[in-house]
Amino acid sequence: MVELRLLEQLTAFYTYGTLSEAAEKLHTSQPTLTRSMKQLEDELGVPLFVRTKNHLALNRTGIKAAEYARQVLLAGQDFEAKVRSYDRSLHTISIGFCAPIPQTVLTPIINHVFSGMTISADMGEDSLFEDHLKQGIYQLAVLHYKPEDPLFYSQKCGSEHLYISLTSGNPLSFYPEIHLKDLDGLPILLLSQIGFWSKIHREKTPNSRYLVQIEDDSFRELAVNSDYPIFSTDYFIRRGQTMPGRVNIPIADPECQAEYYLVCLASERKRFQPLFNQITEHTIQ
């Protein structure tokens, strides 16, 4: 069987075009690379090169061999990545969260159910989460929609309704409800890590200037001591976690009433069933 190092050297020669440049990129000598290419020809039993006095070039078979070699090397890299990913998955559960509240509510439950496992969490806009589950990057994800692909098993785990928090003197504070378009053009105070909500805000309020804060303490200090509108949700309002002197107005846009789904690959459902047994459609509310 041909050694992988010979395939690597062949693809390097194919990529860089000369023995000298390929040898430099591979941190080896030109004579060593020349001997390797001759060894590869001998092992395959076919000529791969056109040789002249001061020049070496791939013939048609050599070009095709280099293309095949590249495919073999990529497959080898994919093999290594998949093995490492699988081994990591035996000891680590990686989860993608689409918003902060699902992470806040579900993380303690996950830690309890899978005590002893390492829990790795990411948060962001969830358009790529399905692909990440298929690729093994995540073992679990929380989406703000129900996936239709039969490769997934999902269970509703709650909901959240977006509000805007306004100072009592703001003219919009007298409305029973508002739409995001009513906020367009206003400066708005915002936390940076809010998952899919960020995309919704910016699409519906393209003319607003967002004052983005990374730290929660800085955000709260500015919210308490300024008139800037801030977003809140029914999760905080139900728990009395509201800012003094502010009025919370529900936002009527359909996109601002999210339903959350805990998702895994259908083939992994048995593994995560103890977690799904702890989840109801009212876990996040």
- Assign residue 229 the CATH number of its domain: 3.40.190.10
Report pLDDT for 155: 97
Kindly state whether residue 271 falls inside one of the protein's structural domains: yes
Residue-wise burial string across 260-269, b where 16 or more C-beta atoms lie within 10 A, e elsewhere: bbbbbbeebe
Report pLDDT for 264: 97
Kindly state whether residue 284 falls inside one of the protein's structural domains: no
Q: Is the pTM of this model over 0.75?
A: no
**Whether 66 and 114 share a structural domain:** no
**Whether 169 and 247 share a structural domain:** yes
Which of 87, 107, 128 is a domain's end point? 87
**Whether 208 and 170 share a structural domain:** yes
**Whether 143 and 168 share a structural domain:** no
**Whether 49 and 171 share a structural domain:** no
**Whether 125 and 201 share a structural domain:** no
Domain range for 136 is 89-147+261-276
Q: What residue ranges of the chain have pLDDT lower than 50?
A: none
Report pLDDT for 74: 87
Helix count and strand count (H, E) for the chain = 10, 11
Kindly state whether residue 15 falls inside one of the protein's structural domains: yes
Number of folded domains that form the chain: 3
**Whether 55 and 120 share a structural domain:** no
Give how far Cα 141 sits from Cα of 7, 28, 106, 225, Å. 39, 46, 11, 36
**Whether 127 and 170 share a structural domain:** no
Question: How far, in Å, CA of 262 to CA of 97, rounded?
Answer: 9
Question: How far, in Å, CA of 240 to CA of 13, rounded?
Answer: 67
Report pLDDT for 106: 96
